[in-house]
Amino acid sequence: MNLTVIGTGYVGLVTGACLADMGNEVMCLDVDATKIANLRQGILPIFEPGLESVVKRNVETGRLRFSLDAEEAAHFGVIQMIAVGTPPDEDGSADLRYVLAAARQVGRFMPDYRVIVDKSTVPVGTADKVEAAVRDELALRGVDLPFSVVSNPEFLKEGAAVEDCMKPDRIVLGVEDPQAEALLRELYQPFQRNHERTLVMSRRAAELTKYAANAMLATRISFMNDLARVAEKVGVDIEDVRRGIGSDPRIGYSFLYAGTGYGGSCFPKDVQALLRTAEEHAAPLRLLRAVEEVNDDQKTTLVRRARERLGSLRGKRLALWGLAFKPNTDDMREAPSRAVMESLWADGATVSAYDPIASDECRRLYGDRPDLVLAASPLEAVRGADALIIVTEWKEFRSPSFAEIKSRLNTPLIFDGRNLYEPAVPARYGLEYHSIGRTVSGAA
């Protein structure tokens, strides 16, 4: 099948590459000339495990190509997938500017029947707006061509995006036109050979499903973070509670980790956008509002603890392990590390940070500044620091040499926002260890 993917970011590039890998002919379109030029030379704009080899082999076979030309792209695919960004607008609602521009591009140039697929995360009613935008463009051209708009939200996780795309839990299709449904079922058939995973529903239901999924996951995280505060007060280890409730199959273990809050390009903005939709319909989501409040507070909880323990942070040096919003990605959008760094800088502290992948992204975001040192190793980051703060649970942080950490730190202090260690272990090495939802260990 020939298909076009509009927007070659995390979702567009991964989806395009995986669809090409199944034998489809794919054209990925973007407005970013540098990104397209780099991709044509095999340079990927993002880090995503396994993606480089999928892109490479499909570029080599000629099944995956990249374009800046909207007209060529509208001609190429019967299916036109929209995977552009939907950042938060000033009021928190999803900014649909890019989605509607993409829809207009298709309407402006499509030569005949097209199925336009919304893969971007978009509020309820967006498929109707996309349809109207395409119809407007066709009217401007004075033509009447058949087309269909489908909502097909994406559920892939950064850090495991290729795997998720190849083996999706479910494929949600908001489709009300049998011809478009048949085409998309055919497209996705190779991804569900083992069992059928397609859920067909109305377009509006598909749009809401995507927000509901992220809102539920964010709720689990904030619930645990809220509970962690109580656990600390009553002398309970939140990890015991997590295991105790996660073993209930009705609850399950996933997304029950207390920590320094959720971040990334999706949860914060999707929670905000859903809150906004609810308010617009005079049906405010009170629970979700609290989820957001807890998370905002949680992102800087480690800095508050550092202040309580060290006093003024002015002139202090804090080591930071982890910049990416989660492991296996270089994405720092809304990352808790940013809230931590910005609040340390506001206090007059210097940050000495280490991340296995995201240092370049950090440099791109913050530039060169005297109060930011990007270290080449975890131990280098710690040298001469007044405390170590851990915000991302990269594997390489799980079994560090506590003796080496202790010998390099000015003050033997760890603030762990990911509960990576059994509290007794760092304490055994003479380190004072603060984590989330557990009592402090090793304190003098």
Ligand X SMILES: NC(=O)c1ccc[n+]([C@@H]2O[C@H](COP(=O)([O-])OP(=O)(O)OC[C@H]3O[C@@H](n4cnc5c(N)ncnc54)[C@H](O)[C@@H]3O)[C@@H](O)[C@H]2O)c1
Residue 5 sits in the site that holds ligand X (CB under 6 A): no
CA separation for the pair 385, 409 (Å, rounded): 5
Which one, 325 or 415, has the nearer CB to ligand X? 325
Q: What is the CA radius of gyration of the chain?
A: 24
Please tell me whether residue 120 adopts helix, strand or coil conformation: coil
When asked if residue 158 is in the footprint of ligand X (CB under 6 A), the reply is: yes
- Asked if 414 contacts 434 with a C-beta cutoff of 8 angstroms, the reply is yes
Question: Is residue 11 close enough to count as binding ligand X by CB under 6 A?
Answer: yes
Give the nearer residue to ligand X in terms of CB position, either 30 or 386: 30
Q: Among 1, 22, 31, 145, which residue sits at the site for ligand X (rule: CB under 6 A)?
A: 31
Binding mask 378-407 for ligand X (x = CB under 6 A): ------------------------------
Residues facing residue 117 across a β-bridge: 81, 150
- 288 part of the interface to ligand X, by CB under 6 A: no
| Contact residues for 1 (Cβ-Cβ < 8 A; gap 6+) | 24, 25, 77, 78, 79, 183, 186, 187
Are 234 and 433 within 8 A, CB to CB?
no
Q: Which of 17, 18, 20, 29 binds ligand X (CB under 6 A)?
A: 29
Residues 6 or more apart in contact with residue 149 via CB below 8 angstroms = 115, 116, 117, 118, 127, 130, 131, 134, 203
**Residue whose CB is less far from ligand X, 93 or 300:** 93
Nearest Cα residue to 385 out of 306, 273, 274: 306
165 is catalytic: no
**Contacting residues for 152 by C-beta, under 8 A, at least 6 apart:** 81, 117, 118, 119, 171, 172, 173, 174, 184, 206
User: In the stretch 95-114, what mask flags binding to ligand X with x, by CB under 6 A?
Assistant: ---x--xx--x---------
Q: Which residues, 58 to 87, sit near ligand X by CB under 6 A?
A: 83-86
Which residues inside 256-285 make contact with ligand X, applying CB under 6 A? 265-266
Strand partners, 441: 433
Which residues, numbered 159-218, are part of the site for ligand X (CB under 6 A)? none
Q: Applying CB under 6 A, which of residues 4, 80, 120, 295 lies at the interface with ligand X? A: 120
The only residue of 3, 5, 9, 96 in contact with ligand X, by rule CB under 6 A: 9
Number of residues that bind ligand X (CB under 6 A): 27
Q: Residues interacting with ligand X, by CB under 6 A?
A: 6-12, 29-32, 35, 83-86, 98, 101-102, 105, 120-121, 154, 156, 158, 265-266
Hey, which residues are catalytic here?
Answer: 266
